[in-house]
Amino acid sequence: MKNKLIFFIFSVWAAAVLFFFNKALPVKFFRILDYLSSLPGSFELKGFFSYLSSSAIDIFLAVFLLAAAYIIGRRIAAPLKKGLDTPGFFAVSTGAGFAVIAGFIFLLASCGLLFETVIYTVFIVFFVYTLFELKRKPAGLRFQYAKYTAAEKIILLLLCLAALLNLFCALTPETFFDSLLYHLAVPQAYIFSHSFTKLPYNIFAAFPQNGELLYLAGLVLNGPVTAKLINYLFGILLTAAVYSFGKKYTGRTAGLFAALLFYSMPVVSANLVNTQVDCLLTFYIFLSFYMLLEACEKSFGRAALAFSGLFAGFAMGIKYSGIIFVPGLVLLLLWYLLRKKTVKDAGQLFSIFFIFCLVPIVPWLIKNYIFWGNPVYPYFSGHPGLARLFFEQTGPALAGLRGFLLLPWTLTMSAPFASMNIGPAFLLFFPFLFWLLIFKRKEKIAFSALIIVFTAALIFWLPVTRIARFFLPGLLFFALLLACAVIKFLKDAKDDYFSFSVALAAAVLTLNNIAWVADLHFKNMDPLSYASGKVSKEGYLAKGRPTYPDPYFGALKYINKLPGSSGKILFIGENRPFYCTKPFIWGSVFDKAPLLEFAARSRNEAGLRQVLKEEGISYALVNYGELARNKKMYELSSTLDFIKSREFTVAFTPVFESGTCCVFRVNQP
């Protein structure tokens, strides 16, 4: 056997990583088995068929939206078709199509035309256009049968297994806190107002919302599960794009392996089953990198460069943190210009990139300027909750050089929650990257490009945050680097035993990740009880879980049955208003409490009841459990005290109580 020393080092390292990881973040297999064993006793045939029919509708509508995005986007991406394979062209076209759909919804909201009838009419037109285009030109894709190796078939099987688990969990009602607070609640508020509206008590409403506009389409089509499936499908699109990139630049096996390393990460799986936006951001950043490499490799093609800028700008329009990854793209373009000695074209090429980059983000800056007088609000605004938000999202600071060197270990081992768990695979295969960098310096250009964008992303990420999900694009670049290194080493070693050992380790790690995710979702989402038909949607939302504390749906059910002209609902202590079917006023734990703001106004006006009347508020929902849980957060302790005051009891009368929630009616002034 060749490379006996390397094999020994790898074996010891792999054993250590697996031991310490499972000690820090163990998979509770017995809990999974106990959960699965409860399925036969909870199965209810009528409810199960209802679940199947509703899920089929949600899947159809999400896939239809995907097909419409592709049909729209393939015309736009036509200049790139010759240079891309089928998965790559499909991913690029669909990404462009979704950007167009988001832009169209932005235009409707800006014009005050965000009515469901208008949106339905538009999507009927999309549907007819999609059918017509598919009949005229069935797909525009060149499907070619590929003979996969045994290792590649195993990778595909593991990817399918992870994707099926994610799909199963994505079909449950949305209970993710951030989604109910703003990813879905903000689009819902826009739908109620039929346009963009100023939401002064929710700091997140001022951030760019390209992703939320796509979820808004899902909400109008059929509800939150359709919106969740849009996010889920972006995971599939991202996998297709990585596979296409790998096949073209690093080798098909390396592309598949990179897709597996990334997609099977617990943090990715946890992101794809809810209406989060980090995977959407990752998809568009990766497309921007892919198109930039295409442009540079083909004598700086203008079309590919324009798409690279467009995708980078759309990513920043999803989340401001997308800006962390743009410097790496700029450095990559500059590196190519210097390498090909065409610096004289730098002005024109950078102009193309940045002009198209600004198109998807500038509208959000204009919206903020109109509402707040500050294009990047809440930044540079003196917002009282911004410092607390930064503190929550930065994570622990690096302890000098030692902290930086230990970061791969600490990032892997030290966080027992889904938004940080990247799994052990990156750490386990890390030595192969050192081997390639030290002993095999001559590598494909794509490898150098990945090094540039990853290094730049790491430099800009480290001073901002330690939260892994904010670094997902960087982790994808790292997965591609590791995949290149591992596959390159195995090809050079030409040792079947070593190849089998590495493949076995990869399979075990992937299954371990899938099991960890299954345990997490079974505990936090309980998808089997919902899928079995025994628990209805109302029953599901009425039950609390670790990531869904102090459920409020019982009180909300009472509110939703109130007459249609019952006015706005004021949420007090409860930050998750999404399932309310009436216009609502709510805030986040980082903002001034609406109730206290109204109380402060009332001292200069005709009392609290008069202020509430002016705001159109007729009822309030108070969640005492959430107030107690978050009482250390901004102003919530003062809110709890105010509810006990005479001023509150004069303005409100309790009319319904459920669990930790109470519904109050506003007394007439």
Answer yes or no: is 597 within a domain: yes
Which residue segment(s) compose the domain that 638 sits in?
549-666
Q: Are 566 and 620 in contact (CB under 8 A)?
A: no
More confident residue, 41 or 402: 402
Answer yes or no: is 584 within a domain: yes
**Which tokens hold the place of 460?**
């800009």
Note the pLDDT of residue 122.
85
Same domain, 332 and 438: yes
Question: Per-residue pLDDT for 329 more than 60?
Answer: yes
pLDDT > 90: what percent of the chain?
Answer: 55
Same domain, 623 and 476: no
Nearest Cα residue to 101 out of 262, 259, 280, 248: 280
24-33, 235-244, 475-484, 647-656: segment of lowest average pLDDT:
24-33
Answer yes or no: is 283 within a domain: yes
Same domain, 162 and 281: yes
Note the pLDDT of residue 175.
94
Tokens 């109580």 belong to 657
Same domain, 579 and 518: no
DSSP label of 545? B
Same domain, 556 and 439: no
Q: What angle do CA 118, 122, 125 make, to 5 degrees?
A: 140
Question: Per-residue pLDDT for 3 more than 70?
Answer: no
First-to-last C-alpha distance (Å) of the chain: 88
Question: Per-residue pLDDT for 60 more than 80?
Answer: yes
Nearest Cα residue to 44 out of 530, 523, 522, 525: 530
Spatial separation of the C-alpha atoms in residues 308 and 284, rounded to whole Å = 9
Spatial separation of the C-alpha atoms in residues 293 and 285, rounded to whole Å = 12
Distances (CA, A) of 116 to 109, 129, 188, 194, 394: 11, 20, 11, 8, 39
More confident residue, 171 or 138: 171
Same domain, 471 and 604: no
661 phi, psi to nearest 5 deg: -110, 150
Spatial separation of the C-alpha atoms in residues 598 and 615, rounded to whole Å = 9
Same domain, 362 and 470: yes
Strand partners for 569:
584, 619
- The DSSP H or E segment spanning 608 is helix 608-614
Answer yes or no: is 127 within a domain: no
Residue 641 maps to which CATH number? 3.40.50
User: pLDDT tens digits, residue range 576-596?
Assistant: 999 999 999 999 988 888 999
653 phi, psi to nearest 5 deg: -125, 125
> Domains in the chain: how many in total?
2
Note the pLDDT of residue 350.
94
Spatial separation of the C-alpha atoms in residues 558 and 621, rounded to whole Å = 10
DSSP label of 319? -
Model confidence at 1, pLDDT cuts 50, 70, 90, reads very low
Q: Are 290 and 240 in contact (CB under 8 A)?
A: no
Answer yes or no: is 446 within a domain: yes
Answer yes or no: is 292 within a domain: yes
